[in-house]
Structure 1
Amino acid sequence: MTPARVRIQTFDFDPSTELAALRQVDRRVGAVVSFLGTVRDWHPDATGEVLSLELEHYPGMTERAIEAMLDQALARFDIYAAQVIHRVGLLQPLDQIVWVAVSSAHRGQAFQACEFLMDYLKTQAPFWKKEQTPDGARWVDARVQDDAALQRWGITASNA
């Protein structure tokens, strides 16, 4: 069974199960590269600790935006399959928040595609993040270095 390319969900996921499913998409797979993001207990632009992170999105719009991003990765890189799982709702430090996995014949294309997808997700995916700190809640803004990472792929961040 082919795994869903994009899943937005409140519940956790098992990376080993997702990896095994992605490997089965194409028998020519010689490389699978994945990225697993977790919630930090701090933010580089904030003072103090982060107690929790809440993510909001527009159902349907978010999935379409990420599907378009996956289509771009498939067109740019010699890859067989790609998957993004992103959690929403209330998350705690160390909770898994995002999974990006890419399969290809060789590692180089898989690494590039995975990095491209993460750079795109950080700046273009329609998620809104609110951190809860000991001093209260604050919305997380896009970071300049994330926009710069996206520009190396020839894409200008729409939030710049």
Structure 2
Amino acid sequence: MALKNSAVLLIGLLLSCVATSSAARILEETVPSKEEHQPEVPPLPKVELPPFPEVHLPPKPELPKVELPPVPEVHLPPKPKLPKVELPPVPEVHMPPKPELPKVELPSVPEVHLPPKPELPKVELPTFPEVHMPPKPEMPKVELPPKPEMPTVPVFHVPESEPKP
């Protein structure tokens, strides 16, 4: 039964692949190219706008110059003197003497006799032959170009407006 079901499934997959590939081929043959499909667009008519009328604004009214009244002088009363406060003396406190703690004798630590340490044998390392390296060549001195000067930022001066009469 399982063999029959898998055979039906494989035949169905094969038929669907054949159908999609033939449909894709038909679509490729029937789609026109982009150049043939472009409709012609008529040019837009030119529209001329009338020129903007000149606008004449009335001159700016001059604002009246406002003068502030002078600041009145303020006379504050003198600061009152505060009375000098004396604190009462701190009373002496007598503490009872500290009780002495009893002496505790610790038991003596027993002596431990360990065997003497064995001496390690001396190991002689092999000597390596001396290697003579050629002297290092001197590096050539490189002269750098002079450091360029930083460009200065131009300073803009705002002209002061002349007072109007």
User: Could you say whether these structures have the same fold, taking a TM-score greater than 0.5 normalized by the shorter chain as the test?
Assistant: no
Structure ranking higher on relative contact order (CA contacts 8 Å, 6+ apart): 1
More helix by share: 1
Give me the TM-score of the superposition, normalised by structure 1: 0.12
More strand by share: 1
